[in-house]
A and B are shown apart, each in its own frame.
Chain A
Amino acid sequence: MTGEKRTGSILGSFPLSRNHSLYVFLLPSAAFIVIFVAYPILFNIWLSFHDVGLRTLVGDRPFAGLGNYIRLFTSPLFGEVLLNSVAFTLGSIIPQFIIGFALALFLMKQFPGSSIVRGGIILGWVIAPIVVGTVWRWIFNTDYGLLNHLLRQFGLIDSPLSWLPNPQLAMISVIIANVWLGIPFNLMLLMGGLSALSETLYEAASIDGTNRLQRLVYITIPLMKQTIAATLMLGLMFTFKVFDLIWVMTGGGPVDKTTTMPILAYRYSFTFFNFGMGTAVASSLFVLMAVLSIFYILGFVGRDE
């Protein structure tokens, strides 16, 4: 990042960085974050220690102690949901990353039409996730869906598979849709990392007679370590909190096979109006996200300052 190579202030004893008006500039955004982000998070944690239903959301909320958490952690559903979340997250970020990396390597060298290909892929990020989920739900449709049609055309299946209603296939289906959704993000971050690598190093290596695979394994990947780790870490956080896509494709079903933590939190709160349980799930999610984001910040942010 630029801008830090400033010379002395021409204002002498009263430089801009000590101007008190800057506090006025900062106030609105700081106030917004405190009132509408920090306070709600704390309020969410507070709610999770209370019995809160629709009628008690505003007003008297009986203290429940650890009741919600005990109920949550001892229910067999919670273990299953945690496993679903892990399966969904790992199942998504690994293929997303591999495909994104391969595409980034392919699209780095310009060729006629390369920017159109890149633009077409970024479109996947621009379109609302709820729309993406809806389209994939239609593609996965058992009788009229495109996927079963194509699979039959290529002779891969004899009779149509029921993707989303099938407990064994539902998770795979939402993962496929989410991989599609996540490719643009991986592609862009990795292309950003690749374009920062020095060309001369490659030229030297190719003179030394290394082949393409050797250059990838011994030069590109080691040099990209930081970018790769950051991409995977962000992928982990963003995938863990995916909600819209699953909500519209399966709603968490069939028989909770695609219920992840965000789905469970939302369902407790806004399907069953058990806000105490909903906020207990959400607070668990918060702790997890906070830990991950602190790791991310410590590891990858701020070295450029």
Chain B
Amino acid sequence: MTQRQHAAIKSAAGAVIFIVYIIPIYWMFVSSLKPRSEIYQIPPTIFPEQPQLASFARVISDGGLINVANSFFIAGFTVLFTLVIAAPGAYALARFKKKWTRFMVLLFLMAQMMPTVLMATPLFAMFSRMGINNTLLAVIIGNATMTIPFAVIVLRTVFLGVSVELEEAAYIDGCTMAGMFFRVVLPVGKAGLVIASVIAFILAWGDFIYANTFINNSSLFPATVAMFNYVGALATDWSAIMAFAALIAIPLIILFIMLQKHVVVGLSAGALKM
């Protein structure tokens, strides 16, 4: 067998694996495009016979775009909040040479592994005392309990690779610590910042439990919670449910295609969710 034939067989096998794995995603999109009459056809049609966007229109007329906008707001501010808090902390943990630095790093690592159900009840109680339940801020803080530990760990590794000599030279040249951080450290660690942002965005966008716990005003629901309520309320309208699911999936699929390399690095770097 020639090298070429060998590669062709591998490609063919790869195509089969790809198709089999991707079936659920395909089924989501196909179902979202079927009219109600077709979605309850037995046997189901593998390719939609009359593809249409009516189920998306139903979701949007129910306020689905407001929920998607809430998701963008939550995910965007979670990323911002995460970077502002985590980047300086990660830098400090990369530069300190003290006995307790390692202990701190391990604490962040452990924090990252805590289940969300564990955090939900005490945070709910704290937030109701602080009076911020039923606000998007509560959800952003909840998400940050996952994303800040992750970002600290990932960014610390990145900053460890930034040359100390460069920083000290800037410092001698009269830079303040803050100036040096912004002008030397952050630009060199840019790739790390992108990785931390992308992963934080994916996690916050996908959050269900915190928003479901802290928010009870439907106009503040992110898309994940609104879709979940669809499953309960309109259990019969599966094309609308799949359209909602697709609306949640599409932005992340686009993000993934644009930043695939960073997602891959982030996924392997921070042992995160599954």
Q: Which residues of A does B touch, CB under 8 Å?
A: 1-4, 6-7, 9-11, 15-17, 19, 21-26, 28-30, 32-33, 36-41, 43-44, 47, 57-58, 103, 106-107, 109, 111-114, 116-117, 119-132, 134-139, 141, 143-146, 149, 152-153, 178, 180-185, 188-189, 191-192, 230, 234-235, 237-244, 247-248, 262, 265-266, 269-270, 275, 278-279, 282-283, 285-286, 289-290, 293-294, 296-297, 301-302, 305
Contact = CB atoms under 8 A, between A and B. Distances in A.
A104 B169 CA distance: 44
Which 7 A-B pairs have CB atoms at the shortest separation, nearest pair first? A29-B89, A128-B206, A3-B160, A241-B115, A40-B122, A26-B92, A25-B88
A206 B120 CA distance: 54
Contact of B115 (A128, A289, A305): A289
Residue of B10, B242, B256 ringed by the most chain A CB atoms within 10 A: B10
Interface of B: 7, 10-11, 13-15, 17-18, 21-25, 27-28, 31, 39-44, 84-86, 88-97, 102, 104, 106-111, 113-126, 128-129, 141, 144-145, 148-149, 152, 157, 159-162, 164-165, 167-169, 171-172, 177-178, 181, 202, 205-209, 213, 224, 227-228, 231, 238, 241-242, 245, 248-249, 252-253, 255-257, 260, 263-264, 267-268, 271-274
A131 B89 contact: no
5 contacts: A11-B171, A123-B256, A126-B253, A126-B256, A130-B224
B227 A149 contact: no
Given A10-B169, A122-B256, A262-B115, A116 B18 contact: yes
A289 B108 CA distance: 14
B13 A106 contact: yes
A240 B273 CA distance: 11
A244 B169 CA distance: 50
Nearest to A275: B121
Given A2-B161, A275-B125, A244 B11 contact: no
Contacts of B23: 146
Nearest to A19: B177
Nearest to B98: A17
Contacts of B206: 127-131
Contacts of B92: 22-23, 25-26
A22 B267 contact: no
Given A28-B89, A126-B202, A135 B267 contact: no
Residue of A2, A111, A294 ringed by the most chain B CB atoms within 10 A: A111
B149 A37 contact: yes
